Amino acid sequence: MKYIIYTLGCKVNQYETQAMETLLGEHGHTPAAEGETADAVIVNTCAVTAEAGRKSRQAINRLREENPGAVVAVSGCYSQLSPDTAAKLGADVIFGTGDRVKLVDAIERACAGGASERCVDKPFERRVFEELPAGAAEGRTRALLKIQDGCVNFCTYCIIPYTRGRLRSLPIADAASAAAKLCAEGYRELVLTGIEIASYGVDLEGKPSLADVVCAIAEAAPDMRLRLGSLEPTVITEDFCRRLASLGTLCRHFHLSLQSGCDRTLKNMNRKYDTATFFEKTELLRKYFPDCGITCDIIVGFPGESDEDQRTTLDFIEKVGFSDAHIFPYSRRPGTPADKMDGQIDRSTKARRSREARAVAAEARRRCLESCVGKTLPVLFETKDGDRWQGHSDTYFLVEAEGEDLRGLVKNVKITGVSGEILVGEIR
């Protein structure tokens, strides 16, 4: 069977796509070559925003039209939330965010002429973490490992708890074993991902913490550098920083879920901190991980947000000095409390505020990039562009330098300049 997989959304979705590719390969199936009609197309969907849902529907339609006669399979958050819509779009096999190990068998049955299948459960009834094969896309030196799933924070804007369900964690021993296997396979960096990894372990016996599992993984895979996925700021404590800094293999890059730089808006979002607490966390990170990269997500145009609130957020972006910020206009998600709030912001205002926030964030990033000139950064090289190799520093800046075959190697690079969004340097 020849297949095509199209992925939307976050690193968790990327991990789950890679896992599905591994399972397909174990069954003897191969990706369709460029221009080759596939026997099956798989769309791993996203529902975090209305735009993500639209793109998911669009992908299903496009791939069905480009591959007439192919079995169409969907999985992920959008199909978990809207399985009936997926069926109306012509999906033959419909899965949500669970039971992904059964997906390949269902596709095979459909390709053999079987009836359409739907496997969409009730997320809040899940109790056990579904372990899938860890790994990376072909040719990559960085691998992904999902250590946690689900979220019960119930931020007022977020649909994800309703698609992913309760908190579930990969046991420490299993996480360490998976990391050791990836290390033995030659991967040089491991990204630990999940829906809300700060809550890792609350469902496990003894309630191990995120720091506990990271330390265990570091011990099991000493030749890999580790990178953390998105973090809730509340997990950043003195003990957390002290333990992880002592490892020596943790990348100095932290993506913190800010969402707003205005305390009033944070309260309306049901976030569990204020801006003063958030700033303290960034200072703590910089104490233990000097010159670390700190990135964030920000939602603008939340219901009831005023122009003054927006200005407060912009000032906070400048104060923190993020190395990057992902700006999103607020997207109404039916079924969430924010969807029913008064003071919904019109589209043009949200667009204007997005432009304003991106401009401030871009200036902060420019300053961070320029501050790297003259410093030496460890870089994991992965791809070649012309006569120059590119890779990411431990602070998650894209770096390029000249050299022989550098793929999969970590080299110290002295940064000599900035070219757009890329740091340019010389290998030491």
Torsion of CA 97, 100, 105, 110, to 10 degrees: 20
End position of a domain, from candidates 371, 392, 412: 371
Amino acid (1-letter code) at residue 398: L
Residue 169 shares a structural domain with residue 30: no
- Domain range for residue 114? 2-121
Residue 103 shares a structural domain with residue 232: no
* Domains held by the chain: number: 3
For residue 33, count CB atoms less than 10 angstroms from its CB and return exposed for 0-12, middle for 13-18, buried for 19 or more.
exposed
R_g over Cα of the chain: 22
Nearest Cα to Cα of residue 156 among 340, 298, 313: 340
For the chain, how many helices (H) and strands (E)? 13, 18
d(CA 35, CA 185): 31
- Residue 244 in domain: yes
Residue 407 shares a structural domain with residue 333: no
- Residue 290 in domain: yes
- Residue 227 in domain: yes
- The domain spanning residue 40 has which CATH number? 3.40.50.12160
Q: Are 364 and 322 in contact (CB under 8 A)?
A: yes
- Residue 130 in domain: no
Residue 210 shares a structural domain with residue 278: yes
Phi-psi region of 118 (alpha: psi -120 to 50; beta: other; left: phi over 0): beta
Residue 343 shares a structural domain with residue 422: no
- Residue 405 in domain: yes
User: 215: which 2 tokens?
Assistant: 């330390």
d(CA 155, CA 251): 28
End position of a domain, from candidates 89, 121, 153: 121
Taking every pair of Cα atoms in the chain, the longest distance, rounded to a whole number of angstroms, is 63
User: 16: which 2 tokens?
Assistant: 């789950």
- Residue 135 in domain: no
Residue with tokens 């997500």: 297
d(CA 379, CA 410): 5
Residue 32 shares a structural domain with residue 169: no
Residue 188 shares a structural domain with residue 215: yes
- Residue 394's CB is within 10 A of a number of other CB atoms, namely 23
Half-sphere exposure of 374 (CA within 13 A, CB side): 4
- The domain spanning residue 255 has which CATH number? 3.80.30.20
- Residue 129 in domain: no
Amino acid (1-letter code) at residue 273: Y
- Residue 172's CB is within 10 A of a number of other CB atoms, namely 21
Q: Are 82 and 19 in contact (CB under 8 A)?
A: no
Nearest Cα to Cα of residue 322 among 359, 294, 284, 362: 294
Identify the pLDDT of residue 138: 60
Residue 399 shares a structural domain with residue 352: no
pTM for the predicted model, two decimal places: 0.94
Residue 61 shares a structural domain with residue 176: no
User: pLDDT tens digits for the chain (428 residues)?
Assistant: 999 999 999 999 999 999 999 999 999 999 999 888 899 999 999 999 999 999 999 999 999 999 999 999 999 999 999 999 999 999 999 999 999 999 999 999 999 999 999 999 999 999 899 999 887 766 678 899 999 999 999 999 999 999 999 999 999 999 999 999 999 999 999 999 999 999 999 999 999 999 999 999 999 999 999 999 999 999 999 999 999 999 999 999 999 999 999 999 999 999 999 999 999 999 999 999 999 999 999 999 999 999 999 999 999 999 999 999 999 999 999 999 999 999 999 999 999 999 999 999 999 999 999 999 999 999 999 999 888 999 999 999 999 999 989 999 999 999 999 999 999 999 99
